[in-house]
Amino acid sequence: MTAAFDDFRHLVDQFPDLVCRYRPDGLLLYVNAAYAAFHGRTRHDLVGRSFLELCGGDLRDDVEIGLRRVQQLTPAIGVVWNEHRCRDHEGDIRWFHWTDKGVFDSAGQLVEVMAIGRDVTDRRVAEEHAVYLAAHDSLTGLLNRRSLLQFLEDELALCRRREQTLAVLYVDLDRFKNINDERGHDVGDRVLEEVAERLVAGFRVDDLLGRIGGDEFVIACPDTDHDEVVRLVDRAHSMLAEPMVGLDDVVIRASIGWAMSDGTDLAGDLLKGADAAMYAMKAARSSSRAGEAKRPTEDPGDEP
């Protein structure tokens, strides 16, 4: 029997997965070589200690949630699967998929758990990256249109409950097509990235930014009154007018419109209102420039 058990332990020590046995309170009874190596300890150091001590303070909640699920095992439901983060001996965080199988006494009480943990960090990172890409603009990292609309819906619901207002700023870069046509799309992309960085740096932590079109940006500003919106618009104009690093001859100007809601509007309608205000401002500026161009100049010869 002892020889067979030793052979089994030798086999388990060849596993790349983490293998352990523990009591329902988390006290370790056995660990394989991979488990000990992951934590940078010897088996002797680990056996008799709770694995809750090994996970690090910031990850302890993750592991405790998994342990509570394990403690609910019964002879009828003897296996549970968990995924949570663990920190290795070098401080790196890894994701593990755990299969925990309960061992029960004759009275049906859980007395021991056998567990196998497989490193699934690469899969989790790929999944999280896919979720990120689905919600964000790939060039600037800001929210895309779909995610921004969902955020606006959530914020409008909060406005109704808290009796607050939500302001939405719609930013459209003037003559951006000329930059693309004259300087190329690489320079155009640099301009868009620079605009995104300046807006993120210049607005408040609670404000949320999105890029919803080629050269169109939206900033959602919760709990903001009229005077604060005017200040934010002025700040945005000032930030965007600063010369670009390495592209001093590229001047960024923008038309900015805005709309406010007390939470009774739909997100799409609020966005359309800000968009309409932006186009009204752009049209007014265009008319003003056209008027100035048509204004007759004085003839010096008519001076007395």
Mark whether 171 and 226 lie in a shared domain: yes
Mark whether 53 and 150 lie in a shared domain: no
Average pLDDT over residues 54-70: 83
Q: How far apart are CA 45 and CA 294, in angstroms?
A: 87
Lowest mean pLDDT among 129-143, 189-203, 242-256, 257-271: 242-256
Question: Which of 74, 95, 125 represents a domain boundary (last residue)?
Answer: 125
Instruction: Tell me how far CA of residue 262 lies from CA of 101, 269, 279, in angstroms.
Output: 53, 13, 23
Q: Is residue 303 very low, low, confident or very high in pLDDT (cuts 50, 70, 90)? A: very low
Is 80 exceeded by the pLDDT of residue 131? yes
Give the sign of the dihedral formed by CA 186, CA 191, CA 197, CA 199. negative
Is 70 exceeded by the pLDDT of residue 7? no
Please tell me the predicted confidence (pLDDT) of residue 55: 73
Tokens read off for 145: 């249109």
- Listed in sequence order, the DSSP H helices in 105-262 are 121-135, 145-162, 176-183, 185-202, 226-241
- DSSP, collapsed to helix, strand or coil, labels residue 299 as coil
- What mean pLDDT value characterizes the chain? 88
Residue 169: closest CA among 98, 79, 274: 274
Tell me, yes or no, whether 297 lies in a domain.
Answer: no
Tell me, yes or no, whether 188 lies in a domain.
Answer: yes
More confident residue, 13 or 99: 99
Is 50 exceeded by the pLDDT of residue 302? no
Of the chain, the percentage scoring pLDDT greater than 70 comes to 90
Q: How far apart are CA 38 and CA 96, in angstroms?
A: 12
- How many domains, in total, are found in the chain? 2
| Strand 216-222 relative to strand 166-173, pairing | antiparallel
Q: How far apart are CA 132 and CA 128, in angstroms?
A: 6
State which residues form the domain around 47: 2-125
Of the chain, the percentage scoring pLDDT greater than 90 comes to 59
Spot the catalytic one: 215, 249, 265, 302: 215
14-57, pLDDT tens digit by residue?
Answer: 889 999 999 999 999 999 999 999 999 999 999 999 988 887 67
C-alpha 188 chain-centroid distance: 25
215 noted as active-site residue: yes
Mark whether 56 and 146 lie in a shared domain: no
Q: How far apart are CA 170 and CA 273, in angstroms?
A: 9
Where residue 62 sits, what CATH number does that domain have? 3.30.450.20
Is 60 exceeded by the pLDDT of residue 298? no
C-alpha 272 chain-centroid distance: 26
236-258, pLDDT tens digit by residue?
Answer: 999 888 887 777 778 888 999 99
Residue 156: closest CA among 171, 138, 168, 170: 168
148-176, pLDDT tens digit by residue?
Answer: 999 999 999 998 898 889 999 999 999 88
Is 80 exceeded by the pLDDT of residue 1? no
Give the sign of the dihedral formed by CA 179, CA 185, CA 189, CA 194. negative
Please tell me the predicted confidence (pLDDT) of residue 175: 86
**Residue 269 parent element (H or E):** helix 267-294
Q: Is residue 5 very low, low, confident or very high in pLDDT (cuts 50, 70, 90)? A: low
